[in-house]
Amino acid sequence: MSAVKILVTCPPMLGMIDEFRPLFEDAGVELSAPNVVQIMTEEELEALLPEFDGWIIGDDPATRRVLEAGARGNLRSIVKWGVGVDNVDFKAANDLGLKSCNTPGVFGREVADLAMNYVGGLARHSFYIDRQIRSAGEWPKPAGVSLAGKTVALVGYGDIGKNTAMRLIAAEMLVNVYDPAYAGAPTSALRPKVWPEALGEADFLVFTCPLLPATHHMFNETTLPLLKPGVRVVNVGRGPLIEENALITALETGVVHSVALDVFEIEPLPADSPLRTYPYNIFGSHNASNTRDAVQRVSLLAIERLFGFLGLGV
């Protein structure tokens, strides 16, 4: 009987894959860990997946087309590493008889840490100052803004949003929460709102929500007249929450002072993107959840769930 074969395509897990190899070896599993920088293409996956019994997915396009190709071969089970599931067609997986799940509620603190780091970085121009000292030999002293007393429009109040709100409130900021599932009573620091009401109050706009049909391009051209001039925008959710052409217009006109984006509509960020021309902007590499502690915790959970689907012990 041939060994069970598992494919891992999640870059953070791949970056620590040697720590997990013994688990696969002890279970008699043949592990494939290709060098994936961001995602594999549909064409690459269609060609590769049929030979594997299980797949731990990153942000790859796990579309119906891809899963059908896998199911025509040996594919029996998939686990989406992490929280976001917009790239995985779970209905197709169910239709094809593939056992499937994700690992929800695992990165709230880590992503919130980065969101708070971005809020502080935009407020105090700390990334800009660092770049100017390093690359231009300058000694700049731009005036920032204080956080205490400022208002944040926080979009999304799931695990990430709740953890972000805790950090914002600790900095003595006022938080307007936009999430239809929010069920808490208003407090002096935390106030539920319905998008896009009261956007004109916000000094910072922070996106932590998932990508759904209702949230796709929720920041767009019609949003711009509602914003407080000079608002700073943070996105640690998903790139397509923001229509980037509208964001560029907002930067050009000064409606938006600066942005801190860990995610983009096109990843990696194209070299010719106009977003690169604004010196106070901060960019990440879709890396908000990537701490050694979190990667280890979530990878072990993903392995446990996939092994369970495949009838293997951990």
Whether 242 and 122 map to the same domain: the answer is yes
Statement to judge: residues 131 and 279 lie in one domain:
yes
pLDDT of residue 1: 57
> Do residues 7 and 54 make contact, with C-beta atoms less than 8 angstroms apart?
yes
Q: What is the pLDDT of residues 236-272, one digit of tens each?
A: 999 999 999 999 999 999 999 999 999 999 999 999 9
Is the separation of the CB atoms in 299 and 314 below 8 Å? no
Same-domain check for residues 10 and 153: no
**238 among known catalytic residues:** yes
Q: Give yes or no: residues 120 and 159 share one domain.
A: yes
100 and 234 part of one domain: no
Instruction: Please identify every stretch of the chain with a pLDDT value under 70, giving residue numbers as ranges.
Output: 1, 314
Residue 56: which of 77, 25, 83 has the closest Cα?
77
Residue 314 lies in a domain: no
Answer yes or no: do 155 and 268 share one domain: yes
In a domain, 57, yes or no: yes
Is 137 a domain residue?
yes
Q: Is residue 216 part of a domain?
A: yes
Specify whether 134 is located in the same domain as 210. Answer: yes
Q: Of the residues 51, 201, 267, 304, which is catalytic?
A: 267
Look at residue 77 in the predicted model and tell me its pLDDT: 98
- In this structure, is residue 95 part of a structural domain? yes
Is 268 in the same domain as 139?
yes
Domain span at residue 117?
108-283
Put residue 258 in one of left, alpha, beta given phi > 0 → left and psi -120 to 50 → alpha: beta
Q: Does residue 255 sit in the same domain as residue 228?
A: yes
Q: Give the model confidence (pLDDT) of 153-183 as tens digits.
A: 999 999 999 999 999 999 999 999 999 999 8
The 8-class DSSP code of residue 88 comes to B
**124: annotated active-site residue:** no
Structure tokens at 221: 């051209």
* Same domain membership, residue 98 and residue 126: no
- 176 and 86, same structural domain? no
Q: Which residue has the tokens 């801190």?
A: 260
Burial group, residue 63, by CB count within 10 angstroms (0-12, 13-18, 19+): middle
**Among this protein's residues, is 19 annotated catalytic?**
no
Residue 292 CA to residue 17 CA, distance in Å, equals: 12
Q: How many domains does the chain contain in total?
A: 2
Which residue among 232, 257, 286, 305 is the active-site one?
286
Here the CATH number for the domain that contains residue 117 is 3.40.50.720
Instruction: Identify the active-site residue in 76, 125, 238, 305.
Output: 238
State residue 235's pLDDT score. 98
Same domain membership, residue 120 and residue 9 = no
The answer to whether residue 34 sits within a structural domain is yes
What is the value of pTM for the model shown?
0.91
